[in-house]
Structure 1
Amino acid sequence: MHQLVEQIANQDIRALARAITFVENDSIEKLQIMQDAYSIKKNGMYIGLTGSPGAGKSSLVNRLISQIRTEGKTVAVIAVDPTSPFSGGSLLGDRVRMNEHFTDDGVFIRSMATRGSLGGLARATKDALRLCDAFGFDVIIVETVGVGQSELDIMKIVDTTAVVLTPNSGDVLQIFKAGIMEIADLFVINKADLPGVGKLKAMLRELIHMTKQDRYQPQIVKTITTENEGIEALWEKLKEHHAYVYASSEGKKRLEEQRKLEVLELIRDEIWRDVYQYVQSHPDFSSNLTNTDPYNLASSLYMKWKKEGR
């Protein structure tokens, strides 16, 4: 595993793909890989794109890649897709929209299945992002699965979160209900050639005024991916916010909170793995459970797990 991470640091793209597979499969090698990868992190720019299905996120990412590449910067994309109910793998979705970049050595695109994880992300997304950083990509973009009201996890792993909306789609109502305003550092009104742009922009400005008075004021950018309009402005606003995060006390506090959450989640995952293995092998769990009270059984198994000094 040490050698694998060394290969990643030396920009071996096959080693990067193998390492991401290890962390996706939650293999025993995962911890060693991530410890080594963190020691060689290169502090790339982490961007998250989220929004409802059909908002045009993949097409937007495709255009954004092209814009970033004009500056000579390398780009990695972690595209989180729904899970196939048959194979457990990602359904790949709209990755075909990025096929023009497949032969570009400066671009790496990896689809990841959610595998039942909520919040629009795969469990291994953060690890994959870190591995891409260790490889040396200048910009790492995470595109969420687009599950409407469960997009909040993205703010835990990226520096800048862009929420993609479309006119006359009802997305603003989702924002009100889900609290997505709390995670948005930037709003992108995509498909801005459709009617209703002015109304949507006015509603967003009112929302920003109500909820972000003492914090960074999210910008609003209009894009039309079919015409490649607004992409340069979007990239400039992303860079502007990234600079703010690393220069302001608010940004530094946010990064500190992200790290605290990450430590707690890693501990939770370790505990869950231990409990799961114990319960699966316990005879009380493997017996006929049809008429069993699940509340009492869960409490009993948990207390036995604790009593055994786990």
Structure 2
Amino acid sequence: MSEANGGAPTAATGSVRRSRDVPRLVERAREGDPRAVARLITLVESGDEVLPAIAAALAPYGGQAQVVGLTGSPGVGKSTTTNELVRSLRARGHRVGVLAIDPSSPFTGGAILGDRVRMQDHATDPGVYIRSMSSRGHLGGLSAATPQAVRVLEGAGCDVVLVETVGVGQAEVEVASLADTTLVLLAPGMGDAIQAVKAGILEIADIFVVNKADRDGADATVRDIQGMIALGERGPGQWRPQVVRSVAARGEGIDDIAGAIDKHRGWLVEHDELRRRREARAAAEIEAIALGVLRARIGSLRDGTQLSVLAAEVAAGATDPYAAANTLLTHLTR
């Protein structure tokens, strides 16, 4: 029964209504309404059917923010550093968005919200928007919805977006493909320098931050990282990763981090690397969306006859799996 006839709204009716609401939501987000920003990110996270409409409405505002990724092993002080970096950026007059990717709750799948709890200093600042997002088991240290959430914050007028990842590991280097500038945080006495090499983190860092630099072993950690950087092969004009010391818990070294970010931004612009990185990011996102659509279509075929017929032919030796896959793709892309 349709809503017009007095019945409950159907799923299709609800989707149409939400699509119509998107332009107004984006307009409110542009005006600085945090509830509109929250609603848009929630729709993005849930993979709602209006996601294409949201992406279309936000497209004119894309690429306007500097995206900075922060990653590092648990316990190195990522959240404290992010908190202090927000303070420094606000003092410079920036409007700041923070996406803190939290581990998923094993019970609800939602974010545990630890990062937002630690950033209450900025809770009443209208120039700061902080959102905890669940990784939902997604490999790479980010949530699958993070790129679109960044676009929401850009649309909301944030000129700097900080993306803090769950942790770091061999699979958790996606932040480098999302960010304009990637910070890798290390701490003395944690074996992070060696771990950075094992996990391939050395290759993704634009800036190394040795946090908790008041601890024993800080000098050795700095030397180890500088030595590894020196061994790397770089052509003329290529960026040489910076190494910055900080004690984020006391606010020390934060302005140095901000200065290193500014320096890297200048290099990106001067060498046309910013455009190249963003185009590579867009290409990866387009590919991911296209593959997602194909996977969904293939899934819908499992209950139909096309895939079953092809599977039977392969099992019987009437055709091979590559030919069957090509037939399936031809059918899917008509």
TM-score, normalised to structure 1, is 0.89
> Cα gap change, 1:309/1:63 in structure 2, threshold over 3 Å: closer, same or farther?
closer
> Unaligned stretches of 5+ in structure 1?
286-292, 294-298
The offset of 1:46, in angstroms, is 0.8
CA displacement, residues 269-296 of structure 1 (integer Å, 9 cap, x when unaligned): 22122223333x45999xxxxxxx9xxx
Which residue does 1:234 correspond to in 2?
257
Per-residue CA distance 1:225-244 (angstroms, 9 max, x = gap): 12211011111111111122
Give the number of equivalent residue pairs. Answer: 298
State the alpha-carbon separation in 2 of the partners of residues 199 and 134 from structure 1. Answer: 43
> For residues 147 and 186 of structure 1, do their structure 2 counterparts lie closer, same or farther at Cα, with a shift above 3 Å needed?
closer
C-alpha contact 2:116 2:131 (8 A) present in aligned 1: no
Letter in 1 for 2:267: Y
Q: Which residue number in structure 2 is paired with residue 253 of structure 1?
A: 276
Cα displacement (A) at 1:100: 1.2
Q: Which has the larger radius of gyration?
A: 2
- 2 CA distance for matches of 1:93 and 1:307? 47
- How many Å apart are 1:150 and its aligned residue? 2.4
The TM-score normalised by the length of structure 2 is: 0.83
SS at match of 1:94: helix
Output one character per residue of 1:49-75: Cα deviation in whole Å (capped at 9) or x when no partner. 001111110011011111111112111
Per the alignment, residue 267 of structure 1 pairs with 290
| Cα separation, 1, equivalents of 2:227 and 2:332 | 54
CA distance in 2, matches of 1:200, 1:284: 58
For 1:157, the aligned partner's letter is: L
For 2:191, which of 153, 162, 170 is the aligned residue? 170
Q: SS at the partner of 2:243?
A: strand
Aligned to 2:252, what secondary structure does the other structure show? Answer: coil
1:195 aligns with 2:230: no
Q: Secondary structure at the match of 2:130?
A: strand
Q: Give the AA of the match of 1:193.
A: D
1:224 CA drift (Å): 0.4
- In structure 1, what is the Cα distance between the partners aligned to 2:117 and 2:63? 29
Which range moved further: 155-164 or 244-253?
Answer: 244-253
Q: Is the 8 A contact 1:53 1:148 kept in 2?
A: no
Find out whether 1:50 has 2:71 as its counterpart.
yes
Do 1:187 and 1:220's aligned partners in 2 also have CA atoms closer than 8 Å?
yes
For residues 27 and 50 of structure 1, what CA distance do their matches in structure 2 show? 28
Report if aligned partners of 2:30, 2:156 keep a CA contact under 8 Å in 1: yes
What does residue range 116-127 of structure 1 map to in structure 2 within 5 Å? 116-127=137-148
Q: Which runs of 5 or more structure 2 residues have no equivalent in the other structure?
A: 1-21, 308-314, 316-320
- Aligned match of 1:296: none
